[in-house]
Structure 1
Amino acid sequence: MSYSATFFETHSVQAPSIDAEEIAKFSAAGLNVSDYYLPYQNYSVLQNPFRKFPYYSAVNVDGKRFHKLKRDSIFDGSERWAKDERIPEEAQWGNALYSAKNYDFDRGHLAKREYVQWGIDEEAARMAARSTFFYTNAAPQVSKLNRGVWKRIENYILHHEVIKNSMKICLFSGPVFREDDPEFLQKVNDQTVRLPYLFWKVVYYVKDGELYRAGFLTSQRRQMQKKRIIKPVSRSEESVRSTHFNTFKDAETYQVNVSFVEQIGQLSFEAATETFQSDDPERIILSRVNVRNDSNESAQMEEIVTNMNLKL
């Protein structure tokens, strides 16, 4: 089953909707938005055919029916990424991008493999996990972002909250598409590729009968520059760009109001209570407790997540 808005027994959480400006692009191109909303096992994706990356993934996570599977057991042999044949091939980037010269990115899952890894039995979980290996569920992410703080917070929420407490959550993740997104160093299939540098995540959960939500944002712009995989920009362009998000340090994760994600992502989310009430992003600092090198990582992550107002 694909993403379900009625996953919670007591509350409905619809997938985000894109704004009128984005919808107008579909109409102008003679396309229907609904044709690019793609159902998979335990999640769905809305593909952006103009940028060829997903607007977002929408995931149901059921900790009670989670099955632990090793990554190499998902396929018989090596991982197999594929384009989705339900939409035009030219509406999605594929291996030509991710294997291009000078490319130094991970295929960053938007719907994390483990998040969909649940079902009535292990085979159902395996099929769901396998379905995350479509290019429509991927966006280029530098390793420091994809495997760093972003991933550790994801893992903590999944393993120490959702699975441990047999909980359910609804999780949305996606890139921010901006006019000033930098260009990849080379063309792919004779086309210019503009790479998103901001990524967001919104989680919904039910606590004491009330629906809550929390938003997060992270950036990889300077990491892309450091790795020299995007075209250099002039000082004037860099000055203009930095004024927008100069408070965001690269590869760090910030808690933000969901309204902020709505604003920069041109999206609308289901209303819910938010315990984080600040107009200013709040940096989630893991380095202060040396999480990576300390054997007490679980306890420290629990303290951090509690301080983030995300104790589920």
Structure 2
Amino acid sequence: MSQADNRPAGAPAAGYDPDFLAARVPLPGTGGRRVRELPYEHFTVLLDPARRLAALTAVNIDGSSLVDLARGDDWHYDERVPEAEQCGPEVYARNDLDRGHLVRRRDPVWGPDADAARANLDTFSFTNAAPQAAGFNQSDELWLGLEDHVLAYAEAWRQRISVLTAPVLSPDDAPYRGIRIPRSFVKIAAWATPGGALRTAGFVLDQSSELDGVELEAAFARAHEAGDPPPLGPFRTYQVPVRDIARLTGLELAQLAEADSLQTVPTVEQPDGLRDGWVPLTDVDQLTF
């Protein structure tokens, strides 16, 4: 039985439960990066205070007890953390940047009504947000479609699933209003087979600008001088080897990489060590689980 099952409604949030699935899945190590571990209702945020963004979020989804609640929009600081360590409303004001949920709002909203309501509110903490390019296109809708697919699967089959999401925090991300805006995001879904074996699937959402070299540096400089967000490109979505997510993020994902359901990945690496085996997605039907 999970920690959440043992906890009375209204008790302090226990956060992500590593024993939620039949196979134990602890929070990944951060490779020595200093983080603040912040438990919420059914999820945990590992906040990187230097970047003022999450290094990782991890949520448990119980498809057998999901609750349908109104969205709300009560974005707020987490009072446990100094505001200077959070990416607050000033980053999103008077521009085209969206406050992108890392833990999707609907994912932790399950269980007793009081717990579900608190989970709904908890997802609107600024620690659970990251700047994303505004507007929708096919690839962005695919990312949301992927999240819908995972949630619908959990609900239809009354399945338990754990999902890890993170921005890729690179040192060369472009500065804007005291933060650096990530160019890509990663997601790993984890579940257990009927026999109790762990399975995973990894994905990348890329909002990198198509500019490069001197042209990109000049665009960054112009945006910084004008106080505008750096140029972001159209969203592109990929299913990727989990081992590449480890390389991108610096997270320790050996257990999850071993359970990767993407079994057709070649073993020969490209020179950059990242793109080999990446599958561009244009439709949810292309997903490999």
Q: 1:11 to 1:132 in 2, by over 3 A?
A: same
Q: 2:15–2:41: 8 Å Cα contact kept in structure 1?
A: yes
Determine whether 1:98 maps to 2:92.
yes
Q: 1:53–1:139: 8 Å Cα contact kept in structure 2?
A: yes
> Unaligned regions of 5+ residues in structure 1, if any?
27-32, 73-78, 226-231, 239-248, 287-300
1:217: how far off? 0.5
Aligned match of 1:80 in 74, 77, 88?
74
The separation in 2 between residues aligned to 1:308 and 1:54, in whole angstroms, is 26
Determine whether 1:48 maps to 2:52.
no
Partner of 1:265: 249
| Structure 1 residue ranges (4+ consecutive) displaced by more than 4 angstroms after TM superposition | none
Q: 1:177–1:265: 8 Å Cα contact kept in structure 2?
A: yes
Q: 1:62–1:169: 8 Å Cα contact kept in structure 2?
A: yes
User: How many residues of Structure 1 are paired with residues of Structure 2 in the alignment?
Assistant: 246
Aligned match of 1:12 in 24, 35, 38?
24
1:81: how far off? 1.0
The separation in 2 between residues aligned to 1:131 and 1:236, in whole angstroms, is 37
1:97: how far off? 1.1
Determine whether 1:63 maps to 2:63.
yes
The separation in 1 between residues aligned to 2:216 and 2:116, in whole angstroms, is 50
Determine whether 1:218 maps to 2:205.
yes
Q: 2:87–2:130: 8 Å Cα contact kept in structure 1?
A: no
Q: 2:140–2:236: 8 Å Cα contact kept in structure 1?
A: no
Task: Report the aligned-residue RMSD.
Answer: 2.2
Q: 1:151 to 1:180 in 2, by over 3 A?
A: same
Q: 2:202–2:242: 8 Å Cα contact kept in structure 1?
A: yes
The separation in 2 between residues aligned to 1:212 and 1:58, in whole angstroms, is 16
The separation in 2 between residues aligned to 1:136 and 1:275, in whole angstroms, is 30
The separation in 2 between residues aligned to 1:182 and 1:44, in whole angstroms, is 27
Partner of 1:156: 149
Partner of 1:235: 215
The separation in 2 between residues aligned to 1:98 and 1:235, in whole angstroms, is 25
- Give me the TM-score of the superposition, normalised by structure 2: 0.79
Q: Which amino acid aligns with 2:106?
A: E
Q: Which amino acid aligns with 1:18?
A: T
1:19: how far off? 0.8
1:196: how far off? 0.3
1:179: how far off? 2.0
Determine whether 1:195 maps to 2:181.
yes
The separation in 1 between residues aligned to 2:133 and 2:121, in whole angstroms, is 23
> Unaligned regions of 5+ residues in structure 2, if any?
1-13, 219-232, 266-275
Q: Which amino acid aligns with 2:282?
A: I
Q: Which amino acid aligns with 1:180?
A: D
Partner of 2:116: 125
Q: Which amino acid aligns with 1:95?
A: P
Which secondary structure state, in structure 1, belongs to the residue aligned with residue 17 of structure 2? coil
- Give me the TM-score of the superposition, normalised by structure 1: 0.74
Q: 2:167–2:184: 8 Å Cα contact kept in structure 1?
A: yes
The separation in 1 between residues aligned to 2:259 and 2:213, in whole angstroms, is 41
Determine whether 1:281 maps to 2:268.
no
The separation in 2 between residues aligned to 1:268 and 1:250, in whole angstroms, is 29
Superposed counterparts of 1:142-181, under 5 Å: 142-143=133-134, 144=136, 148-159=141-152, 161-181=153-173
Q: Which amino acid aligns with 2:144?
A: K
The separation in 2 between residues aligned to 1:69 and 1:236, in whole angstroms, is 43
The separation in 1 between residues aligned to 2:121 and 2:63, in whole angstroms, is 18
Q: Which amino acid aligns with 2:262?
A: F
Aligned match of 1:252 in 236, 242, 246?
236
The separation in 2 between residues aligned to 1:148 and 1:309, in whole angstroms, is 18
Q: Which amino acid aligns with 1:92?
A: Q
The separation in 2 between residues aligned to 1:167 and 1:261, in whole angstroms, is 25
Q: Which amino acid aligns with 2:41?
A: Q
The separation in 2 between residues aligned to 1:123 and 1:233, in whole angstroms, is 52
Q: 1:41 to 1:66 in 2, by over 3 A?
A: same
Q: Greater helix percent: which structure?
A: 1
| Amino-acid identity (%) | 30
